[in-house]
Amino acid sequence: MNELWAILIDGSTRTVLLGAALLGALTGGLGTFAVLRRQSLLGDVLAHAALPGIVAAFLLSGERALPVLVVGALASGLLWSAVLQVLARHTRLGADGATTLVLSVSFALGLALLTAAQSRGDAAAAGLQTFLFGQAAALLPGDVVLLAAVALVLVAGVALAWPALALVAFDPGYARSVGVPVRALEAALTGALAVAVVLGLQLVGVVLITALVVAPAIAARPWVARLAPLVAMAAATGAAAGAIGALVSAVDRDAATGPVVVVAVTLAAIVSVALAVARGRRRVRAGAAQAATARGSA
Amino acid sequence: MIGALQGWIDDPTVATVLLGAVVGMAATVVGTFLLLRKSTMLTDAIGHSVLFGIVVGFLVVGDLHHPALTLGAALAGLLTVAGTRALEATGRVRSDAAIGLVFPLLFALGVLLAGRYAGDAHLDADAVLVGEIGFAWIDVAPFFGLELPRALRTMLVVLALDAVLVASLWKELKVGAFDPGFAAAVGLAPGAVATALLAATSLTAVAAFDAVGAVLFVAFVVAPPAAGLLLANRVGTMLAIGLVVSVAASIGGYAAALAYDLAIAPAMALVAGALVAGALLVGPRHGLVAHVVRSRTRGLDLDARALLVHLATHAEAEAEARENTRPALREHLGWRAAKVERVVRHALDGGFVERGRAGEGLRPTGRGRAWIEEAGPEGETRGG
């Protein structure tokens, strides 16, 4: 028990805990918009498409500094998501085909660049691989500060654009008709999500990031209808999952943080949906019972 | 004869390109219908989930090369599909969100299980993503009198299975992809057929992973069929084009990998993507270039109609000679000289307009008059 306490109050555990919670909140909160816009897999695309940008940024700048790589990832993610929009809307390929195509080709480009960088003897390029599978344990206090700063900026941005954003999330057609700059706001939302995704890659890696984007919103959706509480609840769910992952991983060395976070948040979503379905059934049964009683007494 | 063939296959280059091509063809065979049914992201999800099946299989039999791993992986693929469908069926989770919930969960469970119980096993991230196609030629096994790389042997069998499935269910797959309701109504069992297709996909995924990794498999499932979809209007043609593209990508990718010192599998995927881009740009029916040309032609047609209306309006008046000269056209229609020339040229080429006798301007032909009196593109009648 004392040993457990010692682990919990350890500085690096606190760092990972804070970082994981922040990341979970960021991706969960921003992911809500993507889920509402039926673009749940946008996080997946942004994560895969980030890789060529990350490697290019590293090759061009010669540095592994996080801000540099984030800028590269962001640029690449936004570029490829624009390609995705064009392919999905203006060709026969459709949303599904376009998504898979962009995801796999952009990631292949990233891998090709990565292997080219590695073969040229850049030892530091190997470190980029943590983006593929996450390495929460490597979070430094400086990273957490950066995360908090980014979170503040994004929250401020979302708050500023709030009424228009809410419209765009729920009814873009109406928003466009009353003069809201829908395209610009959608691009901004994609950009914000791209930032969250790129940062979240450190926690869970490219395969699992989708869960952090989708599950919190799905967990919150059946219980909350209005956008502000929905985003808040999704962020809270994401944060809780992040914290659970960090704690479990600190106690059990064999359990990597990223996967535990994903299991926690996805189970939350599944349980939430199951409860909602049960609640729906109960209501239907109660309604039917009421109707039967009314008929019986008429 | 066999000796010569054996010698050819023993060449690492040939073996590698052949393996890539066979994987590509197998993926294209199932991918054609997956793309039409809009199930390619589901395939990507299956690809990730098989890790879970492989790990569970390994934990049960303790041997990395046991067939139980393949079985486990294929089952994990079906589990992914079942789980995704179950979530969608609740009515609370859309299809894209459902996909995003199931495969990360399975993958995460796979990683956790592997971490706890299989810590020493060679479940290498690099290999899962990129495969070891460059080294597959080393590990050989017998196959109809030839010594083939084990991975190639497996993929040939899988390709045959996929081909047999698709050939025997061709009609059902086609109708099921385009009109599931109709298919159900006429007894073509779209549900069962879809399950069979996804089962075959899971099996192909598992076999392909060993050879070329997850990234190339997904690229080969979507890119060659995408090229086919952009260039063809019939499923058979789409499949044929896809097969050609996948072989070309395999050859081109290997060449690019050698030239630029890249990993082979990603290079093949990139070439496949480049071929799709090519189809997008130059496809005769749906390509961007064709689209632009058609738009310009439509624009010129509209302008020519405006020209004809103008000519027809002034045709009977004395002022015709004055109104229907080029300078007059510039002034009345408000077009710049270059545009007037373009439109007049277009109208002359189409036989809608002819030059008047010397000294007079342009005038509409009978054909031109008929043209503007029929319904315009919006369905309205013009002229008259």
- The Cα of B23 is separated from the nearest Cα of chain A by a number of Å equal to 16
Determine the residue among A48, A105, A204, A272 to mutate to test chain B binding: the one whose Cβ has the most chain B Cβ atoms within 10 Å. Answer: A105
> How buried is residue B28: exposed, middle or buried, by Cβ count under 10 Å (0-12/13-18/19+)?
buried
Q: Which residue of A has its CA nearest to B102?
A: A266
- Report yes or no: A135 and A202 within 8 Å, Cβ to Cβ: yes
CA dihedral B165, B169, B172, B178 (to 10 degrees): 50
CA B104 vs CA A25, A258, B123, B152, B330: distances in Å: 18, 11, 17, 30, 65
Q: Over its length of 298 residues, how does chain A's per-residue pLDDT go in tens digits?
A: 677 677 667 778 888 899 999 999 999 999 999 999 888 899 999 999 998 998 888 888 877 677 788 888 889 999 999 999 888 888 889 899 999 999 999 999 998 888 777 665 554 445 555 666 777 777 778 888 888 888 899 889 888 888 888 888 888 888 888 888 888 888 888 888 998 898 888 788 888 999 999 999 999 999 998 888 999 999 999 999 999 999 998 888 788 889 999 999 999 999 999 999 998 888 888 888 888 888 876 5
For chain B, say whether A65 makes contact (Cβ under 8 Å). no
Treating both helix axes as pointing N-terminal to C-terminal, what angle do A227-251 and A11-36 enclose, rounded to 10 degrees? Answer: 150
Cβ within 8 Å of B, A 138-197: none
For chain A, say whether B46 makes contact (Cβ under 8 Å). no
Report how far residue B231's alpha carbon sits from residue B49's, in angstroms, rounded to the nearest whole number. 32
Query: B291-316 pLDDT, tens per residue?
Result: 778 888 888 888 888 888 888 777 66
Q: What is the DSSP letter of A221?
A: G
Residue type (1 letter), A1: M
In sign, the C-alpha dihedral spanning B63, B65, B66, B71 is positive
User: Helix or strand or coil: residue B17?
Assistant: helix
- The Cα of A240 is separated from the nearest Cα of chain B by a number of Å equal to 17
Token look-up 């999330």 returns: A169
**pLDDT, average across residues B189-202:** 87
* pLDDT recorded at residue A138: 74
Spatial neighbors of B372 by CB under 8 A, at least 6 apart, are B305, B308, B309, B312, B364, B382, B383
**Which residues of chain B neighbour A214 with C-beta distances below 8 Å?**
97, 100-101
- The Cα of B41 is separated from the nearest Cα of chain A by a number of Å equal to 6
* pLDDT recorded at residue B4: 77
Report how far residue B313's alpha carbon sits from residue A219's, in angstroms, rounded to the nearest whole number. 68
For chain B, say whether A109 makes contact (Cβ under 8 Å). yes
**Which residues of chain A neighbour B108 with C-beta distances below 8 Å?**
208, 211, 258-260, 262-263, 266
- Report yes or no: B347 and B353 within 8 Å, Cβ to Cβ: yes
* pLDDT recorded at residue A65: 75
Q: Which residue of A has its CA nearest to B261?
A: A116
Which of B155, B150, B38 has its CA nearest to residue A101? B38
User: Helix or strand or coil: residue B355?
Assistant: strand
**Which residues of chain A neighbour B216 with C-beta distances below 8 Å?**
108
Over 50: is that where the pLDDT of B159 sits? yes
For chain A, say whether B125 makes contact (Cβ under 8 Å). yes
**Which residues of chain A neighbour B125 with C-beta distances below 8 Å?**
129, 132-133
Give the model's confidence band at B237: pLDDT under 50 very low, under 70 low, under 90 confident, else very high.
very high
* pLDDT recorded at residue B299: 87
- Report yes or no: A131 and A206 within 8 Å, Cβ to Cβ: yes
Q: Which residue of A has its CA nearest to B106?
A: A263
User: Helix or strand or coil: residue A97?
Assistant: helix
CB contact under 8 A, A273 and B87: yes
Mean pLDDT of chain B: 83
CB contact under 8 A, B229 and A93: yes
CB contact under 8 A, A258 and B112: no
Residue type (1 letter), A185: L
- Report yes or no: B229 and A92 within 8 Å, Cβ to Cβ: yes
- Report yes or no: B353 and B311 within 8 Å, Cβ to Cβ: yes
Give the pair of three-digit tokens for residue A282. 């109960």
For chain B, say whether A215 makes contact (Cβ under 8 Å). yes
Higher-scoring residue by pLDDT: A67, B135? A67
- The Cα of A84 is separated from the nearest Cα of chain B by a number of Å equal to 12
Q: Which residue of A has its CA nearest to B228?
A: A93
Give the model's confidence band at B319: pLDDT under 50 very low, under 70 low, under 90 confident, else very high.
low
Q: Which residue of B has its CA nearest to A249?
A: B112
Residue type (1 letter), A24: G
Spatial neighbors of A283 by CB under 8 A, at least 6 apart, are none
DSSP A16-39: HHHHHHHHHHHHHHHHHHHHHTT-
* pLDDT recorded at residue B380: 45
* pLDDT recorded at residue A54: 86
* pLDDT recorded at residue A62: 77
CA A180 vs CA A164, A170, A172, B267: distances in Å: 7, 13, 9, 43
Give the model's confidence band at B381: pLDDT under 50 very low, under 70 low, under 90 confident, else very high.
very low
Query: B274-294 pLDDT, tens per residue?
Result: 999 999 888 777 777 777 788
CB contact under 8 A, B99 and A41: yes
Quickly list H helices, chain A: 2-8, 11-36, 42-61, 66-90, 94-119, 130-133, 141-160, 162-170, 172-177, 182-220, 227-251, 257-297
- Report residue B143: phi and psi, to 5°: -160, 105
Residue type (1 letter), B32: T
Q: Which residue of A has its CA nearest to B268?
A: A108
Report how far residue B212's alpha carbon sits from residue B24's, in angstroms, rounded to the nearest whole number. 10
CA A43 vs CA A86, A135, A213, A279, B233: distances in Å: 17, 19, 6, 30, 33
Distance, CA of B200 to chain centre: 19
- The Cα of A155 is separated from the nearest Cα of chain B by a number of Å equal to 24
Query: B107-129 pLDDT, tens per residue?
Result: 999 888 888 887 655 455 555 55
Report how far residue B35's alpha carbon sits from residue B219's, in angstroms, rounded to the nearest whole number. 12
User: Helix or strand or coil: residue B64?
Assistant: coil
Report how far residue B31's alpha carbon sits from residue B9's, in angstroms, rounded to the nearest whole number. 27
Which of B49, B44, B71 has its CA nearest to residue B207? B71
For chain B, say whether A245 makes contact (Cβ under 8 Å). no
CA A262 vs CA B52, B112, B340, B343: distances in Å: 14, 11, 65, 63
Q: Which residue of B has its CA nearest to A87?
A: B280
Which of B205, B281, B246 has its CA nearest to residue B50? B205
Beta-bridged to residue B381, according to DSSP, are B375
Determine the residue among A96, A118, A133, A244 to mutate to test chain B binding: the one whose Cβ has the most chain B Cβ atoms within 10 Å. Answer: A96
Q: What is the DSSP letter of B137?
A: G
For chain A, say whether B286 makes contact (Cβ under 8 Å). yes
Quickly list H helices, chain B: 2-10, 12-36, 40-61, 67-89, 95-117, 125-130, 150-168, 170-178, 180-185, 190-231, 235-260, 264-282, 288-315, 320-323, 326-333, 337-349, 366-373
Report how far residue B277's alpha carbon sits from residue B274's, in angstroms, rounded to the nearest whole number. 5
For chain B, say whether A266 makes contact (Cβ under 8 Å). yes
Give the model's confidence band at B261: pLDDT under 50 very low, under 70 low, under 90 confident, else very high.
confident
CB contact under 8 A, A100 and B221: yes
- The Cα of A190 is separated from the nearest Cα of chain B by a number of Å equal to 17
Report how far residue A47's alpha carbon sits from residue A257's, in angstroms, rounded to the nearest whole number. 18
* pLDDT recorded at residue A294: 83
For chain A, say whether B119 makes contact (Cβ under 8 Å). yes
Report how far residue B98's alpha carbon sits from residue B127's, in angstroms, rounded to the nearest whole number. 28
Q: How many CB pairs below 8 Å do chains A and B form together?
A: 179
* pLDDT recorded at residue B138: 62
Which of B338, B384, B330 has its CA nearest to residue B361? B330
Over 50: is that where the pLDDT of B140 sits? yes
